[in-house]
Amino acid sequence: MEDLSNYRKSYEKSELLETNLPEDPITLFKQWFHEVEDFGGVDEVNAMTVATIGLDGFPKARVVLLKQFTYEGFIFYTNYNSEKGKAIANNPNVCLSFFWHSIERQVIIKGVAKKIAENLSDGYFESRPDGSKLGAMASNQSEVVSSRVILEEKLKQLESDFEGKEIPRPKHWGGYIVEPQEIEFWQGRPNRLHDRIRFQLQGDFSWKKERLEP
């Protein structure tokens, strides 16, 4: 047995108090995001965990990259036919989470995932490097493949087919926006008395703020 009970750390880098809260959580998320960027120590500040309920009834979490966020929600891109895409089609209720260890912060977002407009997916796809575009075409994401050689051969063939040509976005690849219903901000504090502030969306589209015990 690997005993991790002595792994302990005192969290002392910041605080989250009601006196410095904005009225909406997106403003606070934007503030935290850029503070983490400025503080450093995180390779990909936009890396987040997306948790879905799979077709087998089990939850599954994986790390993807946040590509945009607005007051409407949080946008990421994937293959719609992937395991996560099928899970979202069956149950669009998802959870996003960010863990920024360098500044002792977490953000947990419950929301509903919806496909974004095709022209928005087109615009983002066009901004990607050609290798990433062809990789999206080559991979039947989440399907079983017998060897990596098959993938590399598919990519090589696509590179030949599209040499000097525009690479179109596959219709099965695009973006989701997660429209938040609840956002919790977690700030590490000493003695495990962490700050937890939860924003919950109300029927009139205002946000209710509450402090949670740690």
Question: Taking the chain (214 residues) in consecutive chunks of 10 residues, what is each chunk's mean pLDDT?
Answer: 62 82 96 93 93 98 98 97 98 98 96 98 96 91 90 92 94 97 96 96 97 97
Question: Which residue in the block uniquely carries the two structure tokens 């949670």?
Answer: 212
Model pLDDT, residue 172: 95
Domain ranges (residues) in the chain: 18-119+173-212
| Choice among 8, 62, 192, 196 that is catalytic | 192
Nearest alpha carbon to residue 136 among 62, 81, 54: 81
Q: From residue 41, how far is each of 20, 37, 45, 104, 184 by CA, in Å?
A: 25, 8, 9, 11, 22
* φ/ψ (deg, to 5) at 185: -110, 130
Taking a C-beta distance cutoff of 8 angstroms, is the pair 87, 131 a contact? no
Q: How many Cβ atoms are within 10 Å of 102's Cβ, its own excluded?
A: 12
* Catalytic residue flag (residue 192): yes
Model pLDDT, residue 2: 67
Query: For residues 200 and 212, what is the distance between their CA atoms, to the nearest angstrom?
Result: 12
Report the topology of domain 18-119+173-212: Pnp Oxidase; Chain A (2.30.110)
Model pLDDT, residue 14: 87
Q: Torsion angle of alpha carbons 17, 23, 27, 31, nearest 10°?
A: -20
Model pLDDT, residue 60: 98
Say if residue 91 is exposed, middle or buried (CB neighbours under 10 Å; 0-12, 13-18, 19+): middle
Please tell me whether the overall predicted TM-score, pTM, comes out greater than 0.85 for this model.
yes
Query: For residues 121 and 87, what is the distance between their CA atoms, to the nearest angstrom?
Result: 20
Taking a C-beta distance cutoff of 8 angstroms, is the pair 184, 212 a contact? yes
Model pLDDT, residue 196: 98
Tokens of 37: 């960027």
| 54-57 long-range Cβ contacts below 8 angstroms, 24+ apart | 54/83, 54/87, 55/86, 55/87, 55/90
Model pLDDT, residue 18: 92
